[in-house]
A and B are shown apart, each in its own frame.
Chain A
Amino acid sequence: MSMEPIVTVAREKAKVKNAAWSDTGKDHFLSSLEKFRSGMNGQWSGLRRDAASRVRELGFPTSKHEEWKYTNLLPVLTTAFHINTDISDVTAADIRSLLPTGKDTELLVFVNGVFHETLSTLNTGKEVIAGNLAAFHTSENVNRHLSRYAPVSTEPFVALNTAFLSDGAFIYIPEEKRYDRPLHILHLNDGRKMPSMSHPRNLIVAGKGVSANITESYHSLGTHTSFTNVVTEVILSENASLELTRVQTENRLSSHISFTEVRMDRDTQFRTNTITLDGNFVRNNLHIVMDGTNGSAILNGLYIADKNQVIDNHTLVDHASPNCFSKELYKGILDDKAQGVFNGKIFVRQDAQKTNAYQSNKNILLSNDAVINTKPQLEIFADDVKCSHGATAGQLDEEALFYLRSRGIGLEEARVFLNIAFAAEVIRSVSNESLREYLMRIAKMKLRKEI
C-alpha cells in the first residue's frame, strides 16, 4: 500500500514562506559531494543524482520552519566538514572503549561511514545477512527496498544522506528465522584529524515471522567537530518482531541528525529505544507507518543533557490500518542551559478504526535555565479509537531528596538516585542485558557529570 507522506516540508509552501528555507550550507555540501562522487563506484548513481538535485532545490530549513523552530542548524550548515575515508587510524582499542555489548554480539563497525571489516566480528550464515550495504548492492532485497520509504523528496537531510549514499549496514533476516544473537551496528565519526562528516545509510529487512534484536550506536572521537547524518530504513514483514535500540554518546563537538523510517506489515511488533546520553546537538526523526492490521509499536526515549546540549526528538506514528496499538514514552533530564525538544505526532487515518495510541513525555528540569519544548500532536480521522497524550516538566521531589539525605546519602548522590530512578523506566525496556547495564552505567556517569 503506498501512502502520501504525512510530514510535509513542501517546497511549494516554502516558495511562499521563504523565510523557512535558506541556501546556507548548500554550496559547501554540494561541492563536497562533487569531490566525493569522483571516488565512487557506479552503484546507485541515479539515486544519488536525483537526491543531489533535491538538495539543490530544497536548501535547508531555518528556525522559521515549523518543524525546526527550536533547533539552530547554522553551526552544522556553516562548518567546512570533510569526508575522511582514510580509516586506518582507528584501532580495536578505540572501539573496545566504546563498545556496549556482550560477547555473543555480532558487530558491524563503520568509521566515517566507511565499513571497517577487520574490526567487525560478524558471522553471517548462509541465509542471514549482516554486512555492509555496498557489498550487497546487487542483492534483490537491497534493490527492492533501498530509498523506497525514507522521504527523500521532502526531507532535506534525507535527500542529503541519499546524495552521499555509499555504505552502511545491511541486515536481512529471511522468513521464519529467529535470530537470537544481538546485532550491533557501531558508527564512529573520527574527528581527530579534521572536521569530519558522514552520511551512513542502514537498511534492515525482517522477513515474515522473524524475531531480532538490533542496536545502532553512534560515537565520535577527537577535538574537531563532527557531523553525522544517518538514515535507517526498517521493513517488518508480516508477523515479524524487532527491537531496535539507538544509543547516542557522541562528544560535545558533535552534531547528529537521524531519520529512521519504519514500515510495519500486519501482525508485526516493533519496539524501539532511543537513548541519547551525549552529543552537542542531536535531532532524531522517527517515522513509523503501521501499514497492516494488528501491529504493535512501542517507542521509548531517554535524553539526559546538560551545559549547552540540544536534544530534539521528532516522532510520528502513522496509524494507517485498523486494530493497531502504539505506546510512546519519552523522558528527559535537563540541567544547566540544556534544551530539549519533543514533538510527537500521532496520525490516525480514516480507516484505522480500533486504534489504541498513547503518548507521554516527562521531563525533569534541574536548573532554571534548562528548557523543554514539548508538543504532542494528535490528528485523528477515525471515530472508534482510543488515544491519549500527556506532557510534564517538573523538578526533583524535595521530600524524596530529604528522605535519602536523612539516611546519610549526600545531596549529589541523592539527586543521582532520583534521576536514575526516573531514567530507569526507559532503560529497563532495553531487553539486552549487557546493553542495559552499559546504559545504566553511562547514564550514571552523565548524571554525576563525569562525561
Chain B
Amino acid sequence: MAGAVVEYSRGRSTYASLRLSVLQFLADPQWLVPSMIAPVIFALVSFELFRGAGAYFLTYAILGAGMMSMWGQTLYGSGWATGQDREFGTLEPTVQSPTPYLYVILGRVLWNVVSGLFGGLIVYLVILGVAGGPPAVPDPLGFALLFVFVMVTLAAVGVIFAAFYVYTRYAGFIQNIGEFAFYIGTGCMFPVVLLPFYTNPISLFFPPTWGLDALRYLAIPGYQGFSWGFWGDLAGAIVTTAAYLGAAAALFRRVERHVLEEGSLAWY
C-alpha cells in the first residue's frame, strides 16, 4: 500500500488552509460581526467630532475604520483559528503533517485579511449612508496596489501573532490586550503623532503603521503624516514586513520545538 512519497508544496498548503478557512467561515459567518462593531462606532464618532475638517476627512475616517476592521478580523481570525485548532484537537494532526505549520497559518491569515475587507466595505457603506461619498482618490491604481500591500503588512503581523497561540493556550489574553493597543499604536484612527513621544518608536515596529501612513499620503492631498513622507513610509513598510515574514519561519521552528518539548500540543 505504501505509496511513493511526494513533497508538500508551500503554495498548495497555504491555499488549502485558506480554502478550509473559507469553508469554515461560510459554515458560521457570525464572527465577522464583532470585528466590525468597534470600527463602525469609531468611524461615526470621528465623523461627528471632525465634521468640519474638510472633505478628505471622510477618506481618513474610512481608511482608519476599514483598517481597524481588517485588523480585528486578522487578529481574531488568525489567533482564534489556532486556538480552535487546540480546542478541536486538530493542532496535533496538522503539526504532524509534512507541511510546516507556518504555511497553514499563512493561508488562514490571508483569508482573514481578505474577510476583513468585507468589514471595511461595510464601514465604507455606513459612512457613505451617513455622510455621502468621499472625494475621489487621485491615483486609483497606485492606491489599489498599495492597499493590497497594506493587507500583506497586516498578514505579516497576524502570522507572528498566531505563533503565540501555537506556543501557549493562554494566548487569548494577548489578543484582548492587543486589539485596542494596536488600533491606537498603528494610528488607524488617530495620528500616531498625537500619542506621547515615547510611544512613537513602538508604533514603528508594526508594518501597518508605515503602510497606512503611506496609503493616506496617496489618498489625501496635503496629508501631513510622518516627516519622511510617502517614500519613506513605503520603504519602512517593506523593510518591517520583510523582517516580520523573515522572522516568522525561525519563530515557528522555535515554537514547534518548544511545544514538542513541552508536549502541550493537545492542551486546550
**Co-complex (A, B):** no
Identify the B interface with A (CB < 8 A): none
Identify the A interface with B (CB < 8 A): none
